[in-house]
Every structure is written in C-alpha cells, then in structure tokens.
Structure 1
Amino acid sequence: MLQSIRDNSKGIIAKIIVGLIALTFALFGVESLVGLGSSEKPVATVNGEAVSTQELMRGVELQRRQILSQMGPDADPTMLDDNLLNRMVLESLIERSLLSQSVEKQGLYFSEEMLDQLIVNTPQFQVDGRFDRNQFEMVLRSAGFTPLTYRELLRLETLIDQERAGYVLSSFMTRPEIERIVSLDQQTRDFAYVNLPLLPILNQVSVTEEEIRARYDQNAAALQTEEQVILDYVLLEKVAFVDPEQVSDSEVESLYQQALAEFRSEELRDAAHILIEVDEQRDALAALARIQEVKLKLEEGEDFATLAQMYSDDIGSASEGGALGFMSREMLVGAFAETLFAMETVGSISEPFQTEFGYHLIKLEGVKQEEMPSRADLEMELRYEIAERDAERFYVEALERLADLSFSSADLVAPSEELGLEVMTSEAISRKGGTGLLGGHPRVLDAAFSQDVLRDRLNSLPIELDRERAVVVRLNQHQPSRQVTFEEARDSIELELITEVAKQQLRGQADAWLASFKNGEVPQDMSDEYSWVDITGVNRGAQDVSSEIRNAAFAMSSDQLPAFEVISLRNGNFALLRLDSVNRVEADLTEDEMAFMLSFLGSNQGQIEYEGRVQGLRQAATIERN
C-alpha cells in the first residue's frame, strides 16, 4: 500500500506521455534530449544521428520492468527473450529518431506558453485543483527528471503528436466507401478444400550421396560456423544486499511518519462493468449493437450482474457479475476513468462508451475515501523499502570494489572470493548474441569480442546489465569461424534436397488435378483419401477455419464459379480450394452508425497513412545497426 502511495507520482510521467503519443515512453532515455552520451560505439546511427548503447540498455531494462509488472507478482524474468527485447527497443529508438528529425525538418512549433499551460493543467502536478511547484518537482524527481529535461521531452513528444494528428484528423472516407467496406465485411462465402500433406511423399523420396555431396560442394564457401566465445563471469546483484532484518525500529517509524505527512486521501469508486469486445469475430458495429441490446435489457429492469455473466467478454470479471472492486482515478486511464468518475449516483449505470478494448457499460456500486494504513499493516513493506534503499548504497560500493579488483586481477578468483561471488560459465555466444543471461546484452557482446577480452585475455570492467545487476566477464574459450564439414552438414542438406523434391512432386500433382477441375473433369487418380472439406457461410473473421485457407478463399475471384486454386501452406503442405458461392449483403446502416463509421474508419485510415509516412521515412533514411 505504501508503495502504491508513492507510485502515484512515479507512474505519472508515463501516463502523461501515453496520453500524448503511441510510442512507449519507457524506451527513450533522457540522454537523447540533453545531448548526453559517451565515446563508446553507438548501437545504431540514423541519418548520422547516434543511438547510444546507454539509451538501448536503459530502454531494454525499463521495457523489461514494464512487461514483468504487467505479468504480475509471480512473473519469471527468465521467460523474457532478451534478444527480442533488444531488437524491439532498438527499432523503437530508431523510429523515434526518425520522427524527431522529421518534426525538426518541418519546423513544427509549440510555444512556451502552450507548454506552460500543459504542465499547469496536468492534474498530477496540482494540489487542491491548483498547480503546485513543490508537487511538480517531487513528481519529476521521483521519475528521474529535472524540470528542464521533462519540459524538453514534453515539447518533443507534443511535436511528434502534432504530425500524427495532422494525418489522423484530416483523413476521411466517403459514404459509398463505408457502404462497400461494410458490405465486404458482412459478406460470407461457401467453399471447400482438400488438404494435400507433404509427409507421405517425403517418406517416399530419397536422394543419392552424389547429390548431397554436389549440393555441399556448390555451397561450401557459404557454409561457415559463427565465431563464438564461452565466457567465465561473476554476477553482482543488488538484491543480495537487501536485508530487512538489519533495519531498526526508529528507521521504520521515521519512514512511516514521512509517508503519513505525504499521504493525500483519494476517492475510491467501486464499479462493475460489462465489456463487449471488438475483435476478428465481431466488428465495431456488431459490438455497438450488442451493448445497446444489453443497455435496453437493463432499462427494462434486468439485473446487471446477471447480464454481465451472460454477455461480458471480460473473463476476469464476468463470472463475478462484472465486479471490479474499488479503484482510484490513478489506476485507470482514458474514457473508462472519465466515465466512472463522472457518475454522480451510486447504483446508476452509464451510457455505452468505447475504449481500445471494445464497448462498456459501468455500474457505480459505491464511493469511499482511501485511508492511510496503520504502521503495523505496513511494517514489512516499510522494512523492505528501507532495506532496498540501503542496498543501493551497498551495491554501488561493491560495484566500485569489483571494478578495482577486476582491473588489477589476472583472473576472476580474487573478485569472487573477496565479494563472495560465484564464478560461472556462459553458453557459447556469437557476435550476433546467444541464449542465457549474457547472450542478449549488446554491451556484453562488445566486451566479449573486444581486444582486451578476446585477444589480450584480460578481465572486462564491470558491465551493467541493468540498474541492479552487473557482470565482469573473462574469456574461457574462443571458437573461430570455420567451414562446416561435409559430415556436419550432410543430414541438413539431405533433408533440404528431399523436401525440395517432395514439394515439386506434390505441386505437380496438385497442378494436374487443378487443371482437370478447371476443365470440368474429376481426376481419375485422385484417391478417396483426398476428400473435400465443405465450409459454408463463413465470414472473413471466422476462427473455426484455418486462416490461410480462409484468406485464400476470400482472395479468389468470383467471376466464374465454381473456381479452383492451389495454395502453399506454411507447414509445407498444399491445399486445393474450390469456391462455390459468394453471399453478398447490402449495407444497411442507420445515420448514427454511418456517422460512427465515417469517424472511426476515417481516423483509422489516417493512422494507416501516418504509418505509411513512418515507413517512408525508414526507407529514405540511412540506418546503420552495429
């Protein structure tokens, strides 16, 4: 509870930025705003502008924390793919750099007065409805910002949002376009398919040793192993210094009194809701119609909890009658927060409203003020907070000592013994990365293949994996790149050749049957094991049919029916399709529905155009990834 009180300020920056733009705030370091950097090699350059390793590592760590927070208290950090996180964050940083350059080139402007107004009107910077300088500085300080760096970040993100808004708000669609889209969306098709599996043919195909050898000889120069290293390392973790038993009662009392002085009671609202999702199976129009149907039942006196169990798509609350419990405004965002906290009467039910998840109805169940928990209730949390604060100091001291020891030692024995660390050994790591703790960190890779570690066989300096972990690495084994031997490559080449032959045979058979059907004939050599699977009345979002087959059926021309086509599937199989009929539906929209679709799809079209703009910036840019 105490942490949530303090987190009211810590989460504010992210909420402000999320409200302004779609980019993830956590990915971008302050360094990019104030020109801080280092002399180390950048992880990328965008039109000559560097993306630093420091920015990438900070972004990866914050993204990791965000994901783990969303996964809940039992989240396992080892489930995260560090290589994937690195790639995602790097691409986001590259995109941010492109957008920053774009708005600067266009000369977009946001006045100092408008920035002041944004800051002054931010509720999280206010006390009793008025801007408070002390509150403003406290919130920024808790998030690691100064007023200047926050102001520059806010300016940049607002300018980027201006460009995006120009696309989203200016794009539009016409009524005939909407009617055509709705008609296509509601169209269904009747078709059939025959699955043509590759495996039976694979089992019948063989290739000779001469063919395998010839393929190897043809590609031998390209068949190279990756240069790899195996590292010894010691890991220093801040968590090892967290010891709540060493915290005194006086420290606990002091922190509790501080929290008590900072505590501001918030209004909490108890709510239940019904959610109708917009997804592949139900478009926005269908979802709106369904939520209006539920609203009508409520107006006729039916029970909210019962209807939530019957209709709500929120599996977490539907079984509980839609109950969400008490929530503060800070726990919510967007239309949900605005709607819930605008409701005046306990027991009242909102009008339908839309969020990114779909359409909602809210019932206000109760209102109360949050109370400060007692010291006894917060005892362990207070102790851990103090212990973690102290651990930060101990960790920094140990990190400095580790740097001294690793520099002056000929191996990892002295650092490990003095600091009580275990010497561990990594899995093999290439210049592109690898698995395990070290394989996904760019700074580890830079150090592992540096002259000091690889050639001179020295200890590295401490490498910070994140703000709470650091490693020192040392070369255990170097595996230079070499040509793959025939024996090592033989089995994979054999499978490659067999698969090629089998696919050629299967495709040839499928094309022969396709030609027969197009000529109005039934192939005589098509055995009973290849039977048609009939599909009727399927729409574009149907989930009970393979998406590959469904999409292919909807892409087929309906000029002459029945129509036939052969498609290749991702699993290596083929499928023979027969399109029997296209069931068209005329769009029948009310004025309200048409107005909604014009607005919704117009904005959506604008977003697509903006994404095209971003893609164009990428294609025109000179981007180097190191």
Structure 2
Amino acid sequence: MLQTIRENSQGIIAKVIVGLIIVTFALFGVESLIGLANSEKAPAEVNGEEISAVDLQRETELQRRQILAQMGENADPAAIDENLLRRQVLDALVSQEIRLQSAEEQGLYLSESMIDQMIVATPEFQVDGQFDPAQFESALRAVGMTPLMYRELLRKEQLIGQERMAYQLSAFSTPTQVRQLLALDRQTRDIAWVQLSLEEVEAGLEISDADVKARYDEDMERFMTEPQVVLSYIELNQNDFADAEAVDEADVRAAYEQELVRFEADEERSAAHILLEAGEGDEAELRQQAESLRERILSGELTFAEAAREYSADPGSAPQGGELGYNARGVFVGPFEDALFSMEAGELSEPVRTEFGYHLIKLKDIRATEPPSFAERENEIRAELASEQAEANYVAALEQLADLSFSSADLEVPSEELGLEIQQTEPFSRAGGNSELTSNAKILRAAFSAELQDEALNSEPLELSRERAVVVRVKEQIPSRQLAFEEVKERLEAELRRERAAAALEAKADELLTALESGQALNEVSALNWSEVANMGREAESAPLEINRYAFELPRPEGEASSFGRVSLRNGDLAIVELKAVHAADVSDLDDNLVKQMGGFIANRNGQLTYQARVEALEEAAEVERN
C-alpha cells in the first residue's frame, strides 16, 4: 500500500496539487486553510473592525467572577443570567471599540516603554515594593489573561483615557460664569404654602359594595393566585456533628504539645524616644544637636522625660515623656528597631538616623511572652478539634445523603439512615416565601423544576451555606385559582378609596390654583393654614424638601403678582406653593480662591459633558453589526 502511494505521488497531478498548496501557504498563510473549517462570524463588527469571540468570552468571564465575588461565600453561579451578561459585555466592548477608534483617529499613541513603566509601577504586580515577574504572571493567570493580552488592554484603556482627558482638560469656564452660578446657588426666595391632606379626603369618602364589585368584575384576571408548592425537606447541619466532650483527652494533649513546638517566645521591649525632626538644615548640625542633648541627659542636667517633652518632634509620645510602651519586632522602622533590640535595659542609645530625623532611644524594660498553659488552651483546642472532626463527618454524611436521596423514592430512607427529621415548608410561589429556605434562589429553582414537579424526584443536596445543606421534595402542588370577591374586597375598597381621594384632591388643588392665579387673596380662597418662609435658601430645612425644590423651579414673579404652582409630596399629599419674591445674592466680593476652585469644577464638568456628547454622537453614527 505504501509503495502504491509513493508511486502515485510521483505523478504530474500530485505534483500540481502540492504546488498549489505551497503557493496558497506562501500567499495567505496557514490561516487560509484553517479558516475554511472555522467560518464562524465574530460576535460583532464596529465600522468594519471585528470584536473577537475570545475577547467577548474573556470579558464575560471577568464580569462573571466579579459578580460572584460580590455575592459572597454563598454565591450561586446559576443565579447569573448568562445571556443577559453576554449582551451587556458585548455592548460594553462595542462602546469601547468606538471610543478606541476615535482616539486612534486623533493620532493618539502609547509607546511600549510607557506601557512597561505602567506595569512595573502597578502595586498588584509588586513584592516588597519591587516589580516581580512571577507575581505579574500569577495575577494575570487569576483573571485568565496573558501578558500580551494585558498589554493590549492597557493600551486601549490609556488611549481612550487620553482622548477623554483631552476634552476634560481643555474645557474652561469664565469668572462671569462662576459668579452667575454662585449667584443662583445663593439666591433666596420668599414663599408660602398650604398642604392638602390626602388622608383627610379619604376619610370622608364612602365606597359602596357595588362599586367594589364592579371593579372586581372588570379586572378579574388580576386576582389569580400564583401556582404554589409545599416542600418536604431534610437538613444536614455541620454543627450537629460537633461534640467537644467526645474529643479524646490524648488528642487534646497532642495538639497542645504541637502548639508548644511551634511557639516562639516573642520578646517585647518598653522604650521611650526623642525625635529631632529632619528639615532643610545641615545634617551635621542636626546630629550635633542630638549628641549634645544626649550628653545633657547623661550628665543629669535633664531627665529623659523632660527632654522629650521639651525637644521631641513626635506629637504622639512627647507629652508622655517619649513613652512608646511595650512593642515586639516589626513595629518600628529598620534602623530604630535594630538599635532598640541591640540595647541593654536602662541604656540610652547614640543618635539613630531614620527617614524622620535623629532619635535618642532609652530602653526601659525587657520582657518575654510565655506560652499559655494547658488549662488556658484546653477548651479552645477541644473546640477546634471537634470542629475539624465535625467538618470531616459532615462531608462524609453529605456524600451519603447525595447517594441516598438519588436512589430513594422519598425522604424516608435518607431520614432514617442519617437520623434527620423530615420537615415541611409553608406554601410559596415562584416569588418565594417568608422563610430563609423558601426565599433561597437554589430552593426556588429546584422546587419549580420539571424533575421535582413532574417526575416527583428528590433534589440533590442543595447547600445553603458551607455548613448546611438540604434535600427537598415536592409534597403538594397548589395550582393557581381565582380569588373570591370576599378575599380581595378589602384591598379593592382601599384601592378605590385612594384613587378617588387622589382625584378629589387634584380637583381641589386645581380650584385653589385657579382662584389664586385670578388674583384672589389667600384668606379669601381657603380657610386652610398657610405657612410662610422668608429668604429661604436652596436645601433649607424650613420647608419640606419637595416644596423647597419646587419653589426654586417656579418662575420669577412679575410686578406685584406672585407665582403659584402645586407639587406632590411623598406621602400622597398635595401642596399649593406661592412664590412671593426672589432675592439675588451679592457675589461682588467673592474670594478669588473660591472663584478659581469653582471655575475648575465647572470646567471639569463641562469637559465631561462634552466628551460624553461626543461618545453618544460616535455611537449613533457607528456602523455596528451584531451576530
């Protein structure tokens, strides 16, 4: 057979075929053949540029991990709508590509050396303040990226950021604009208002049974219940396996002995110090001051505490005579710690130079920590061992529960084998119930799944936490039904009462407004109590927040006439608001620093809005094809 192949490969046809393959490779590369077998379209194209499936998959996974991290230790991956997440990520990638294309069209550029500098300066890629290649690669692997992928991502983000910052930093504001804004912000208004109570109108309404019945009859579909289920379940709890009293005394002793082996007595030293702070002065002069002060202390001219209170630049310890208390290694900066732990008790150090200046250190006392006794540690060790054993037993029981619940036709067998009580939930719908169990997303999905409802199976063990799991089974299915009139009568009556009261209140408010706008006086229009506030500023607490904000929306009064309007309050009441006068603020003597600060804020805001408007225009004009 091999000989036949060899003979045929020498023919003219075979040579022509091989020649064509070589030419294809040379002109178009291997991808020309591979592409024939993989013609799947890119997820999206933006102005002819593809967004690759790899990018979409990577970004979707990153977003998915972030969502799970936000959910906490009880995160349920099944709770994430993968299709919705994919659409959101694709939209974000499309927007990013549009902004990137805009930045590149402006000729913006980021060199490879700049990218290198950014990577090296990233704290997440450093160990002890220095860039570490292993840490860099490890951090990227954790999020599913390679160094090249990260460099490309960094390049895109920085280019987009360059264009955005160009808009923000080139925006400006004038002093006149700043003064106008501050004048508006400091403007005050004279207002009056009256509050019309919805509750009072409701109390005076009569709703007949016929009206309620008519509402029920016209919208009966609203009053169908949701299908519900009742679950039987058994719960496995790790805490039930914990028994500190059952832990063997020998095991506790052995664990304590291991602790003693690991224990290292930490030496603690009680010290005081005087800091002569480094400034712009001469270094030699500063050291001479420290040495002179040391000699004065040693000669008895000053006590250490007196010298600390008078000369130390450390505000935390100087008032206490330089006292630092007992401390172990790892608390102070290197030179200070080295000197402190090389001294004898009662010794006063030579001047010690640190980044803060020169220190004089006095070592007052040395003490070594002792290991705790067996009696002190016994209960805690016993509890730890019990917890470890409980976890092991729980894991074993969880595996057994999974096997038993899968092979059993009900919960009786796993209940008897594991000594678990069969419990029952209250009826609940897909929206969930009021208990921890019936409001859990995992339980809701299982309870309304086809396996449990149609096939009457036990669920697999569903973990409520790391220490608790349940197996559930549908005990009863309650189909949806039409609620009887009597069951919803009270709710419908309250609904009608609220609707009619709101309509009556609006009619009353319109009537008052019409009378006021026609020129009638307040006391002629209504006997209600009007409240008044003069010179009210924005966000002032002298009027309800809704009234305050609405008062600054009303048009400036013309001549002697007031401006009127009505506003809804959060409790359903309405308020009639009168704007009597507007008082301009005097901003002629504003502090120049305030004007400059506000100008920067306004300019930055203008730049953000301008860039956002550009992005919106680009997105509207872009040719985007989603596949």
Structure 2 vs 1, CA of residues 387 and 539 (structure 1 numbering), >3 Å: closer, same or farther?
farther
What's 2:564 paired with? 564
What's 1:146 paired with? 142
1:90-239 counterparts in 2 under 5 A? 98-103=91-96, 118=118, 120-123=120-123, 125-132=125-132, 146=142, 148=144, 167=164, 170-171=167-168, 172-175=171-174, 176-237=176-237
What's 1:473 paired with? 472
2:414 aligns to what SS in structure 1? helix
Residue by residue over 1:192-235, the C-alpha shift from the partner in whole angstroms, topping out at 9 and shown as x without a partner, is 21111122221211122222121111111233222222323334
What's 1:573 paired with? 573
Tell me the distance in 2 between the aligned counterparts of 1:180 and 1:91: 46
* C-alpha contact (below 8 Å) 1:59/1:89 kept by paired residues: no
2:72 aligns to what SS in structure 1? helix
Tell me the distance in 2 between the aligned counterparts of 1:522 and 1:111: 74
Aligned pairs, number: 455
Structure 2 vs 1, CA of residues 162 and 575 (structure 1 numbering), >3 Å: closer, same or farther?
farther
Structure 2 vs 1, CA of residues 106 and 199 (structure 1 numbering), >3 Å: closer, same or farther?
closer
Tell me the distance in 2 between the aligned counterparts of 1:259 and 1:168: 55
Letter in 1 for 2:218: Q
1:555 aligns to what SS in structure 2? coil
Kindly report the root-mean-square deviation, in angstroms, between the aligned alpha carbons of the 2 structures: 5.4
Tell me the distance in 2 between the aligned counterparts of 1:239 and 1:162: 55
What's 1:512 paired with? 511
Tell me the distance in 2 between the aligned counterparts of 1:600 and 1:257: 62
What's 1:60 paired with? 71
5+ residue gaps, structure 1, are: 1-31, 37-45, 66-81, 262-303, 306-326, 330-342, 347-370
Structure 2 vs 1, CA of residues 508 and 428 (structure 1 numbering), >3 Å: closer, same or farther?
same
1:285-296 counterparts in 2 under 5 A? none
Q: Give the structure-1-normalised TM-score.
A: 0.57
* C-alpha contact (below 8 Å) 1:169/1:603 kept by paired residues: no
Letter in 1 for 2:509: A
1:383 CA displacement: 8.5
What's 2:594 paired with? 593
1:323-338 counterparts in 2 under 5 A? none
2:443 aligns to what SS in structure 1? helix
* C-alpha contact (below 8 Å) 2:167/2:608 kept by paired residues: no
What's 1:13 paired with? none
Deviates most, 491-500 or 119-128: 119-128
Alignment of 1:462 onto 2:452:
no
* C-alpha contact (below 8 Å) 2:173/2:600 kept by paired residues: no
What's 2:495 paired with? 496
Residue by residue over 1:351-400, the C-alpha shift from the partner in whole angstroms, topping out at 9 and shown as x without a partner, is xxxxxxxxxxxxxxxxxxxx999865997999988877776655544433
1:124 CA displacement: 5.4
Structure 2 vs 1, CA of residues 406 and 189 (structure 1 numbering), >3 Å: closer, same or farther?
farther
Structure 2 vs 1, CA of residues 559 and 525 (structure 1 numbering), >3 Å: closer, same or farther?
closer
Structure 2 vs 1, CA of residues 407 and 507 (structure 1 numbering), >3 Å: closer, same or farther?
same
2:219 aligns to what SS in structure 1? helix
Residue by residue over 1:57-108, the C-alpha shift from the partner in whole angstroms, topping out at 9 and shown as x without a partner, is 654235x89xxxxxxxxxxxxxxxx9xxx89999999766643453356568
Structure 2 vs 1, CA of residues 228 and 249 (structure 1 numbering), >3 Å: closer, same or farther?
same
1:429 aligns to what SS in structure 2? coil
Residue by residue over 1:98-125, the C-alpha shift from the partner in whole angstroms, topping out at 9 and shown as x without a partner, is 4345335656899998776555434455
1:392-407 counterparts in 2 under 5 A? 395-407=394-406
1:531 aligns to what SS in structure 2? coil
1:460 CA displacement: 1.1
Letter in 2 for 1:449: F
Tell me the distance in 2 between the aligned counterparts of 1:549 and 1:390: 64
Residue by residue over 1:493-532, the C-alpha shift from the partner in whole angstroms, topping out at 9 and shown as x without a partner, is 112222222222222222112112112213677554x211
Tell me the distance in 1 between the aligned counterparts of 2:563 and 2:120: 64
Structure 2 vs 1, CA of residues 160 and 173 (structure 1 numbering), >3 Å: closer, same or farther?
same
1:451 CA displacement: 0.8
What's 1:548 paired with? 546
Letter in 2 for 1:450: S
What's 2:282 paired with? none
Structure 2 vs 1, CA of residues 542 and 524 (structure 1 numbering), >3 Å: closer, same or farther?
closer
* C-alpha contact (below 8 Å) 1:230/1:475 kept by paired residues: yes
1:60-79 counterparts in 2 under 5 A? 60-61=71-72
1:478 aligns to what SS in structure 2? strand
Letter in 2 for 1:576: I
Residue by residue over 1:155-205, the C-alpha shift from the partner in whole angstroms, topping out at 9 and shown as x without a partner, is 869966875785466334523444333322222222121111122221211
Structure 2 vs 1, CA of residues 154 and 433 (structure 1 numbering), >3 Å: closer, same or farther?
farther
Tell me the distance in 2 between the aligned counterparts of 1:440 and 1:606: 46
Tell me the distance in 1 between the aligned counterparts of 2:244 and 2:113: 48
Structure 2 vs 1, CA of residues 165 and 218 (structure 1 numbering), >3 Å: closer, same or farther?
farther
Tell me the distance in 2 between the aligned counterparts of 1:480 and 1:328: 67
Tell me the distance in 2 between the aligned counterparts of 1:373 and 1:91: 58
* C-alpha contact (below 8 Å) 2:100/2:160 kept by paired residues: no
Q: Give the structure-2-normalised TM-score.
A: 0.57
* C-alpha contact (below 8 Å) 1:228/1:480 kept by paired residues: yes
Structure 2 vs 1, CA of residues 132 and 226 (structure 1 numbering), >3 Å: closer, same or farther?
same
Tell me the distance in 1 between the aligned counterparts of 2:182 and 2:157: 33
* C-alpha contact (below 8 Å) 2:538/2:552 kept by paired residues: yes
Tell me the distance in 2 between the aligned counterparts of 1:573 and 1:460: 51
Tell me the distance in 2 between the aligned counterparts of 1:154 and 1:436: 49
Structure 2 vs 1, CA of residues 203 and 238 (structure 1 numbering), >3 Å: closer, same or farther?
same
1:453 CA displacement: 1.2
Structure 2 vs 1, CA of residues 373 and 55 (structure 1 numbering), >3 Å: closer, same or farther?
farther
What's 1:521 paired with? 520
1:536 CA displacement: 2.7
2:535 aligns to what SS in structure 1? strand
* C-alpha contact (below 8 Å) 2:415/2:422 kept by paired residues: yes
Tell me the distance in 2 between the aligned counterparts of 1:256 and 1:95: 56
1:422 CA displacement: 4.5
* C-alpha contact (below 8 Å) 2:567/2:576 kept by paired residues: yes
Tell me the distance in 2 between the aligned counterparts of 1:470 and 1:112: 52
* C-alpha contact (below 8 Å) 1:244/1:387 kept by paired residues: yes
Tell me the distance in 2 between the aligned counterparts of 1:576 and 1:495: 26
Tell me the distance in 2 between the aligned counterparts of 1:512 and 1:125: 70
5+ residue gaps, structure 2, are: 1-53, 105-109, 266-314, 317-329, 333-353, 358-366
What's 1:311 paired with? none
Tell me the distance in 2 between the aligned counterparts of 1:536 and 1:591: 30
* C-alpha contact (below 8 Å) 2:229/2:429 kept by paired residues: yes
What's 1:485 paired with? 484
* C-alpha contact (below 8 Å) 2:137/2:146 kept by paired residues: no
1:430 aligns to what SS in structure 2? coil
* C-alpha contact (below 8 Å) 1:241/1:395 kept by paired residues: yes
1:485 CA displacement: 2.0
Letter in 1 for 2:495: E
1:433 aligns to what SS in structure 2? coil
Structure 2 vs 1, CA of residues 455 and 89 (structure 1 numbering), >3 Å: closer, same or farther?
closer
Tell me the distance in 2 between the aligned counterparts of 1:148 and 1:448: 35
Residue by residue over 1:310-342, the C-alpha shift from the partner in whole angstroms, topping out at 9 and shown as x without a partner, is xxxxxxxxxxxxxxxxx999xxxxxxxxxxxxx
State the percentage of identical aligned residues.
32
Tell me the distance in 2 between the aligned counterparts of 1:154 and 1:395: 46
1:283-322 counterparts in 2 under 5 A? none
What's 2:533 paired with? 535
Letter in 1 for 2:463: E
Deviates most, 154-163 or 537-546: 154-163
Letter in 2 for 1:593: L
